[in-house]
Amino acid sequence: MEIKEFLREVTALPGLPGFEGPVGQYIVEVFEPLTDDQSVDVMGNVIARLGSEGPRVMISAHQDEIGLMVTGIEKDGSLRVSRNGGVDPRILPSMEVKVLAKSGALYGVVGATPPHLQAASDPKKAVELKDVFIDLGYSPQTVREKVRIGDPIVMISPLVELANDRVAGKTMDDRAGVAIMLECAKNMRRLKAPAQTFFVSSTQEEVGVRGAKTSAYAIDPDFAIAIDVTHGTGPGTGPFEAFALDKVVLVTGPNLHPLLNKKLKETAKRHRIETAVEVASGPTGTDARALQIACAGVPCVLISVPLKYMHTTVETLSLDMLREAGRLLAHFIDDVAREWGEFEWY
């Protein structure tokens, strides 16, 4: 499948932390022609294996998305909500949403008090979650019949194609990472890399890197690669906190292994893949945080997708960068696997 169409389809599927079933099943189907076997574990992690000999390599990119959950029903039938993941309340007013009720998906809008009815000081205040409500259009009685406390709520935002091979939409964090894994798998089949590679579409990263932690213990990898997003250069970003959208970002710091990072940079240079370096001085907020300290310790690297407008419904990235990242990882795994018997970690 072409990467743009994959992103169009995968970002449209619901997959809040703890409720990743629909998106996970789709990812199983997409990996099926590219890998030797596929499974879904009790945490909802999708694990697809390619190869049966050589070092055990785990690649992890999370499939869950940020969203909301129903916490209350008001007298007029409007819904009150809480976060499931890092939702910024400022982006919510006027958004279209879908409540995943047991009775079926219910479409709604996030309401806001009109400026005409606000006090003079209100427009200067930041929106808080307690001020957000969802209007389904139903009568209060019907809402109470259809909706339950705890029902998950996903945002609606179809993929938008921009100029210069760029796209915008929701859930690029981190289904763009899953897209990179698919590109990697395509390239690895061509290279016939002598490795056992486990592609993990992990769950519950947004609420504590939980799926990566459990799947790492199941796989017990020799080394691991995490894929996530970082901030792309745009309005309001500083010189050292954001990166050009067309470069693969390699992360360095104590969470990542220096020898593997050195190999990754050498591979990128040899294959003329443009990269940038991001420094993470402590544990990263990614699956690498859990992978490094799983089992008896797992040497890790982390690559990041430069992404504008993170944790919004218009997350923007370069499709060509995703293709290059997939190509880089395939060659990197191939390089390391062919030198595996000579590796000395320190």
CA distance 211 to 17: 10
Angle 100-101-102 from CA coordinates, rounded to 5° = 125
Given its phi and psi angles, is residue 104 left (phi above 0), alpha (psi -120 to 50 degrees) or beta?
left
Residue 198's pLDDT is 98
Q: Which of 230, 243, 226, 229 is nearest to 301 (CA)?
A: 226
Is beta strand 275-279 parallel, antiparallel or unpaired with respect to 248-252? parallel
Fold matches, 3-65+170-342 and 67-155: no
pLDDT in tens, the chain (346 residues): 799 999 999 999 999 999 999 999 999 999 999 999 999 999 999 999 999 999 999 999 999 999 999 999 999 999 999 999 999 998 999 999 999 999 899 999 998 777 677 666 566 677 888 888 999 999 999 999 999 999 999 999 999 999 999 999 999 999 999 999 999 999 999 999 999 999 999 999 999 999 999 999 999 999 999 999 999 999 889 878 999 999 999 999 999 999 999 999 999 999 999 999 999 999 999 999 999 999 999 999 999 999 999 999 999 999 999 999 999 999 999 999 999 988 888 8
Phi, psi of 54 (to 5 degrees): 95, -175
Q: Give the residue numbers marked as catalytic.
A: 205
60, 219 in Cβ contact below 8 A?
Answer: no
CA distance 145 to 140: 9
Peptide bond into 174 cis (omega under 30): yes
CATH code for the domain defined by 67-155: 2.40.30.40
133, 79 in Cβ contact below 8 A?
Answer: yes
Paired with 304 in beta bridges are: 228, 249
Residue 236's pLDDT is 86
Assigned fold of 3-65+170-342:
Aminopeptidase (3.40.630)
- Name residue, tokens 């690895």: 188
- Name residue, tokens 């869950």: 64
Q: Where are the domains of the chain?
A: 3-65+170-342, 67-155
